[in-house]
Structure 1
Amino acid sequence: MCNEVWLTSPNSNTYAQENDDHDAKSRVFCTKEDCEETFGMFLVKETMYLPERSYSELIRSSDTIRNARFKSVNWLITAHKRMNLWAATVFLAVNYLDRFISIARCRDWKSWMFDLLSVACLSIASKFNETNGHSLHDFQVDFVDTCFAPTLIQSMELTVLKTLAWRINSITPFSYIHILAQSVDDLTKRATELLLCVVLDHEFLEFKQCVVAMSAVRCALDQCVIKTSTKNVTFGHLETFIPQDQKDGMIECRRIMAKVIARDREILIRGKKSPATALKVDLYDFRNFSADDDSFLRTPEINVGSGKKRKREEE
């Protein structure tokens, strides 16, 4: 756990369920029945890990939040490559970031506050998903003018965890990749590259995680050189699990994804070009800030005290 321990503990029943979910996501899918069972389970559970419904509108209406999100996600991708983290880790961190902002709203936040939130989200995701520990300093080497104190990062982590009601074993688009790509390495790699590109674009928040994942795999299939291993990849039977309204969304999702791929083709050449370092912070008087001055972590909008789970309508 990265030389740190959680500042408090989640409800034991919730924690046990989270671990069960993690086991399922790590499962080797040997049969069609295994794939269908896990895919169906993910479809049900992904609704528990979505941002608030008003999040897309918040991003569209606020240049500050829209730009801060892009900057933060860009940095998360850069840090994931620099630190050789699992791809699943960066998708978890992005999920935490989006869910937190959608709940807390983060109006009037300064740039460095989003920077701190990004570090906290990646730290939590790493503790949950990585086998090798990283110090809090490791996450910050990209920073130009800022180095957050460990106590401040830990306070932000606790705020995030409470805000998310300790629900951190999120179902993300990446969760579906191994099921859909059926362990074909080239297809898995290409689909992951596509997801790392489109996760920067807030337009994809309009779609469910399974829709984004299926669109990425279909686009990857279109781009992969035809090989015996990819010829036999088919997951049409899994689409029967998706509600009709979400199937309609797949057409639009693939259209937007194709547009993003064409626009950002150079970014997709992983290993030759990485996204520019995101968190080059604005100039501000950070030196006078201390861990004791953390009132922004207790904003009324966050409401971390109740730990109350938010109930979503069934889609």
Structure 2
Amino acid sequence: MKEVSQISLPTLLCGEDESCFDNFNDERFDINFSLSPVSEFESEYIQMLIRKEAVFQSNYSVKIEGSWWKRRDAVDWILVRTVHFGFHCRTAYLSLFYLDRFLSRRSVDEEKPWAMRLLSIACLSLAAKLEERVAPSLSEYDSDGYSFGGDVIQRMELLVLNTLEWKMNCITPFTYLNYFATLFSSEFRLNRAVELIMSIMAEIDVTDHRPSVVAAAAVLAASDDHHLTNETLEIKIDAVPSWGAVEKEHTLFCYNLLQEIGMSKPDDDWMRRCGRKRRVAFIDGDDQDCPQPKTPKQ
């Protein structure tokens, strides 16, 4: 195992200075949700959250170009460790939100294969500290071939915090599931909606899609009615107050992507991927066949 506790963190970045440094083996996530009728007060509160959702316009896909595999590797690692620790699925989503926001602002040196793993550890650790009642010690985050010292992880956490301007609170799609189930009058499978949300994280830059949009698409895709027509979909989406053409387009895009995910082979299911006892390797060399982030057509 390669010891990297003495690595200088700024070396993982491209063209950055050091000023920012001055200043359980369960097979499932913790899916602790319950559905209940939405009161008028709760509906107004959800509408306030929707209006306040911050959309971070990311140029991440441009920055990493053909290296989407490295981001996919980070998603896989975060999901595996989230299952291992028994974290709530909110923690996994939040850590990916941190990761994508970070990568939209800074470049990770692709010649240092440990850099993305260290960033993944820092993002998951920060999310766990915010969401979990008991967060693991830094020494518990294994790194598949590298031994990161606690001081290195802490400094990476500080870099993430400074890069994100300490704006770490974020609404996740799971907050909206009960609301959309009520609004759409949908009979749907809650666990399936959660699984679809976890699956779509590997396919999109989560900063490009509002959490409410992802939640609405997941509720519709997990509906017991597997044959929703385009007209029915648009009627349901139009029922969301304050949403316009852009939100409708993104919801339909996410819905169609989730339908594709739902029809994928069982081996592609996110929980099966998490259950694999394997090491995910970085892809070196020519990345011309590398998958790309899914985005709505312009």
Give the alignment's TM-score, normalised by structure 1.
Answer: 0.66
Superposed counterparts of 1:300-311, under 5 Å: none
* Structure 2 equivalent of residue 93 of structure 1: 95
Counterpart residue number, 1:63: 66
Which stretch of structure 1 is more off in the superposition, 156-165 or 244-253? 244-253
Asked if the contact 1:36–1:238 (Cα under 8 Å) also holds between the matched residues in 2, the reply is no
Measured in 2, the distance between the counterparts of 1:42 and 1:109 equals 40
Superposed, which structure 2 residues align to 1:218-229 within 5 Å? 218-222=220-224
Structure 1 pair 263–58 and aligned structure 2 pair: CA distance change class (3 A): farther
Are the aligned partners of 1:74 and 1:275 in contact in 2 as well (CA < 8 Å)?
A: no
Does the 8 Å contact 1:115/1:279 carry over to 2?
no
Letter in 1 for 2:179: I
For residue 128 of structure 1, report the CA deviation from its aligned partner: 0.5
The one of 44, 49, 54 aligned to 1:42: 49
Measured in 1, the distance between the counterparts of 2:200 and 2:89 equals: 14
1:179 equivalent in structure 2: 179
Q: Deviation at 1:213?
A: 1.2
> Residues 225-246 of structure 1, C-alpha deviation per residue, up to 9 Å, x if partnerless?
xxxxxxxxx9768612322321
Give the letter aligned to residue 190 of structure 1: R
1:242 aligned onto 2:229: no
User: Which residue of the partner structure matches residue 7 of structure 1?
Assistant: none
Assess, with a 3 A threshold, how the Cα gap between structure 1 residues 187 and 44 changes in structure 2: closer, same or farther. Answer: same
Letter in 2 for 1:173: P
Gaps of 5+ in 1: 1-25, 225-233, 284-315
- C-alpha distance in 2 between matches for 1:174 and 1:52: 22
Question: Is 1:53 aligned to 2:53, yes or no?
Answer: no
Structure 1 residue 186 displacement after superposition = 7.1
CA shift for structure 1 position 28: 9.3
Percent identity, aligned pairs only, is 27
**Aligned residue-pair number:** 241
Q: Measure, in 2, the Cα distance between the counterparts of 1:185 and 1:262.
A: 20
Instruction: Find the aligned partners of 1:205 and 1:223 in 2 and give their Cα distance.
Output: 29
Distance verdict in 2 for CA 1:273–1:71, change over 3 Å: closer
1:145 paired residue number = 145
What is the rounded CA distance, in whole Å, between the counterparts of 1:33 and 1:276 in structure 2?
47
- Do the aligned residues in 2 keep the contact of 1:211 with 1:250 (CA within 8 Å)? yes
Change (3 A) 1:114 1:137: same
> In the alignment, which of 206, 212, 215 is matched to residue 214 of structure 2?
212
Counterpart selection for 1:201 from 203, 208, 215 = 203
**Structure 1 counterpart of 2:154:** 154
| SS in structure 2 at match of 1:263 | coil
For residue 167 of structure 1, give the secondary structure of its aligned residue in structure 2.
coil
Deviations 1:247-306 (A, max 9, x none): 1332222112211222244443747963665655799xxxxxxxxxxxxxxxxxxxxxxx
Q: Which residue of 2 aligns with 1:32?
A: 39
Contact preservation (8 Å) 1:93, 1:121: yes
Contact kept, 8 Å, 1:78 with 1:274, in 2: the verdict is yes
What letter matches 1:242 in structure 2? W
Query: 2:168 aligned with 1:168, yes or no?
Result: yes
Cα distance in 2 between the residues matched to 1:185 and 1:278: 39
Q: Deviations over 1:1-41 (max 9, x none)?
A: xxxxxxxxxxxxxxxxxxxxxxxxx9997643233223222
Cα deviation, residue 109, structure 1: 5.5
* More moved, 102-111 vs 167-176: 102-111
Question: Given residue 51 of structure 2, which amino acid in structure 1 is its aligned partner?
Answer: V
Task: For 1:157, give the aligned amino acid.
Answer: E
1:115-169 CA-to-partner distances (Å, cap 9, x unmatched) read 00000000000000000231112221xx331110000000000110111111111
Superposed structure 1 runs of 4+ greater than 4 Å apart: 26-30, 203-206, 234-238, 275-283
Change beyond 3 A, Cα 1:153–1:133:
same
Structure 2: 5+ residue stretches without partners: 1-32, 227-234, 285-298
8 Å contact 1:212–1:253 — kept in the other structure?
Answer: yes
Instruction: Give the Cα separation in 1 of the matches to 2:276 and 2:180.
Output: 27
